[in-house]
Chain A
Amino acid sequence: MGYSFNFSVVTAHWGYLASGLGTTLIVTLSALAGGLVIGLLIGVLRLARSPYLAAVGWAYVAVLRNTPALVQLIWVYYCLPILTGIEFNTTVSCIIALALHSGAYIGEIVRGGILSIDAGQTEAGRTIGMSHFQVLRKIILPQAIRRMLAPLVNEAVTILKFSALVSVLGVADLMYQAQTLATTTFRPLEIFTFVAVEYLVLCAIFSSLAKVVERRFAAAD
Chain B
Amino acid sequence: MATQDTMVQVVGLSKSFGDHRVLNNINLEVKSGEVVVMIGASGSGKTTLLRCMNLLTIPDAGEVHINGEPLGRLNKRGKFVPVKDRDLDRRRAAMGMVFQRFNLFPHMSVIDNVMLGPCMVRRMSRPDARTLAEELLTKVGLADKFDSYPARLSGGQQQRVAIARSLAMSPKLMLFDEPTSALDPELVGEVLETMRQLAADGMTMVIVTHEMDFAREVADRVLFLHDGDILEEGPPERIFSAPRNERTRNFLRRTLRSGPAVCPASALGVRQ
- Which residues in A have some Cβ–Cβ distance to B below 8 Å? 118, 120-121, 123-132, 134, 138-139, 142-143, 146, 221
Contacts and interface: CB of A to CB of B under 8 A. Distances in A.
Contact of B85 (A124, A128, A131, A142): A131
Contacts of A139: 105
A132 to B, nearest CB: 7
27 contacts: A118-B103, A120-B99, A120-B103, A123-B97, A124-B97, A124-B104, A124-B162, A124-B165, A125-B105, A126-B56, A126-B92, A127-B92, A127-B95, A128-B92, A128-B96, A128-B116, A129-B93, A129-B94, A129-B117, A132-B85, A134-B121, A138-B120, A142-B107, A143-B106, A143-B107, A146-B107, A221-B149
Interface in B95-125: 95-97, 99, 101, 103-107, 116-117, 120-121
A120 B96 CA distance: 14
Contact of A127 (B96, B149, B151): B96
B54 A134 contact: no
Contact of B169 (A123, A128, A134, A138): A128
B128 interface: no
A182 to B, nearest CB: 51
B103 A221 contact: no
Contacts of A124: 97, 99, 103-105, 162, 165
Contacts of B101: 120
B102 to A, nearest CB: 8
B97 A127 contact: yes
B182 to A, nearest CB: 11
B147 to A, nearest CB: 13
Contacts of B92: 126-129
A123 B99 contact: yes
A128 B93 contact: yes
B166 interface: yes
Contact of B121 (A121, A129, A143, A146): A129
Query: Which of B54, B96, B117, B165 lies at the interface centre, i.e. has the most chain A CB atoms within 10 A of its CB?
Result: B117
Interface in B59-100: 85-86, 89-90, 92-97, 99
A68 B119 CA distance: 47
Given A123-B99, A139-B105, A131 B89 contact: yes
Contacts of B116: 128, 130, 138
Query: Which of B56, B96, B120 lies at the interface centre, i.e. has the most chain A CB atoms within 10 A of its CB?
Result: B120
B165 A128 contact: yes
Nearest to A120: B103
Nearest to A123: B56
Given A127-B92, A128-B165, A129-B169, A121 B105 contact: yes
Given A125-B105, A134-B120, A221-B151, 7 more contacts: A120-B103, A123-B99, A126-B56, A129-B92, A129-B169, A131-B86, A221-B107
Query: Which of A118, A124, A126 lies at the interface centre, i.e. has the most chain B CB atoms within 10 A of its CB?
Result: A124
Contacts of A130: 89, 116-117, 120-121
Contacts of B106: 143, 221
A142 B89 CA distance: 22
A120 B99 CA distance: 8
Contact of A121 (B95, B103, B120): B103
Nearest to B97: A127
A165 B115 CA distance: 50
A123 B151 contact: no
B103 A128 contact: no
Interface in B18-75: 54, 56
B168 to A, nearest CB: 8
Given A120-B99, A120-B101, A143-B107, A128 B149 contact: no
